[in-house]
Amino acid sequence: MKSLWNRPGGKLIIAILSILAAGAFVMAAEPLFGRQTLVVEIEWIDAVEECSGSGGKAIFNSRSDAPTRSGDSYCGFIQTSHGLIQLPEDSFLSQGPRKEMLHILRENCSFEIIVAGYGLDLYEGQPRHNRDPKTLRSIERVFECREAN
């Protein structure tokens, strides 16, 4: 009996399966990379309550509204004292923590948060950049709010 490697087209099948496995690993491991715990102040919020997908013509894209000031973003952003972050996307199978996080976050308030992702490490006063923002994974503590100017 021939192994898959020695069958006609077997090497191609193995190559395709390897690429798919690597892609699945990268997607599953994203919450572990670039993890940071930060204390940030929320400057503005322009994120929609329900959102899955990244726009385009994919079949599972959906959102409750369109962001007003986040430019080309499909789901919107949150501007913090440490730069832009994004909320996790809802799954097409179920709603995630996105809506709950959005109800906790308030402009001009400070929070201890955990962010993760492949984007640049965040630091206070970080200028805007064109790289993907890190994703908010958890809100650990709520601090004081200041009066809006």
Which residue segment(s) compose the domain that 98 sits in? 33-145
**For the chain, how many structural domains are there in total?**
2
pTM for the predicted model, two decimal places: 0.69
Higher-scoring residue by pLDDT: 144, 25: 144
Distance CA 30, CA 135 (A): 10
Distance CA 16, CA 113 (A): 38
Q: Are residues 9 and 66 in the same domain?
A: no
Q: Are residues 85 and 43 in the same domain?
A: yes
* 2 SS3 class: coil
pLDDT of 8-54, one tens digit each? 777 888 888 888 887 777 666 665 668 899 999 999 998 888 877 65
Q: Is the pLDDT assigned to residue 107 strictly greater than 90?
A: yes
Q: Are residues 101 and 137 in the same domain?
A: yes
CA dihedral of 138, 107, 73, 133, whole degrees rounded to 10: -50
